Amino acid sequence: MGDYLTEQQHTRDPKRKPSTTIPIDHSNERNSTDIPRIPVIPVHPDDWQDSRPTHNLNETITKTDWWKAVSFLELEYRKRPVDYTCKNVTKRSNYEVCYDEQFKLGKPCLVYSFGIANDFSFDDEMATIDGCEVHSFDPSMGVKDHVRKSSVHFHNIGIGGVVIENLDARRDIYVTEQQTWMVMTLKTIMAALGHADRDIDVLKIDVEGSEWDVVEYLLENGMLPRIKQFLTEWHIFSNWPHRSKNPKNLELFRRIQQAGFKKFSSYMHTLIHNPEWVHLQADTFYVNTLYNSSRRH
């Protein structure tokens, strides 16, 4: 029997619905485990022939696997900020959505947005699209589940590569004191919300470095074919994820493109180089060029 959690379904209406007990189904999921050393392989083989960024650092640094992996990511963004030309791009707050015929949004439309930080502008704008059901998730805000006036459903849970009912949250600029979160996988969240048999039109993830574990989960559990557009911010901080994971994260970045996800827009912003670490962030908006709309019927 699976674990159980109590999900409070609060709204702004004083006559809010009572809490319900929802089972978490762990079946048919593969958890991430430690793996042997992963070779550093660029997104495109010909990148070996290019001069990777060194930023005047010593060869003892630039020859390490962790540095090579990040330098290949930086090179990828400098050479190929876009690898799919979307002819109809619409700005939604700080994000972009592709409205080309094969990716357009229409009834029924499902949007999941992870990482809010009290800014619902993207979510509220997406909720104005006729037929779009929008769900927002962020356990760091300390806000109970509720439905906004815009019809956006807010859930006080996070996303990860495994289900953790009491996660001791990592401290960052958004989490400055101890917090304990409920974290679930995408599959368990969809099951809990009654979306187990639906596809996601737009999946937005901005979760401060935890996106790598989420992407690995999506790849290993066959979830990517069910996602039409993927909007994310990739993070490599000075201490998160640990630099030893950079080669693996490069592999995940390469694999998601091999799975049919092509960048139609990207912006590399924060970029800091240091002999001990690299800080890289990039907003990246993908369309799933292998998405099969017939699966919705």
Secondary structure of the chain in HEC code, one letter for each residue: CCEEEEECCCCCCCCCCCCEEEEECCCCCCCCCCCCCCCCCCCCHHHHHCCCCCCCCCHHHHCCHHHHHHHHHHHHHHHCCCCCCCCCEEEECCEEEECCHHHCCCCCEEEEEECCCCCCHHHHHHCCCCCEEEEEECHHHCCCCEECCCCCEEECCEECCCCEEEEECCCCCCCCCCCEEEEECHHHHHHHCCCCCCCEEEEEECCCCCHHHHHHHHHHCCCHHHEEEEEEEEEECCCCCCHHHHHHHHHHHHHHHHCCEEEEEEEEEEEEECCCCEEEEEEEEEEECCCCHHHHC
What is the pTM (predicted TM-score) of this model? 0.85
CATH code of the domain containing 132? 3.40.50
Whether 38 is covered by a domain: the verdict is no
Which residue range is the domain that position 278 belongs to?
62-137+198-296
Whether 224 is covered by a domain: the verdict is yes
Number of domains in the chain: 1
Whether 239 is covered by a domain: the verdict is yes
Whether 44 is covered by a domain: the verdict is no
Whether 28 is covered by a domain: the verdict is no
Tens digit of pLDDT at every position of the chain (297 positions): 333 232 233 333 333 333 333 334 444 444 444 556 899 999 998 999 888 877 888 888 889 999 999 999 999 999 999 999 999 999 999 999 999 999 999 889 999 999 999 999 999 999 999 999 999 999 999 999 999 999 999 999 999 999 988 867 666 767 667 777 789 999 999 999 999 999 999 999 999 889 999 999 999 999 999 999 999 999 998 878 988 999 999 999 999 999 999 999 999 987 888 888 889 999 999 999 999 986 654
Whether 4 is covered by a domain: the verdict is no
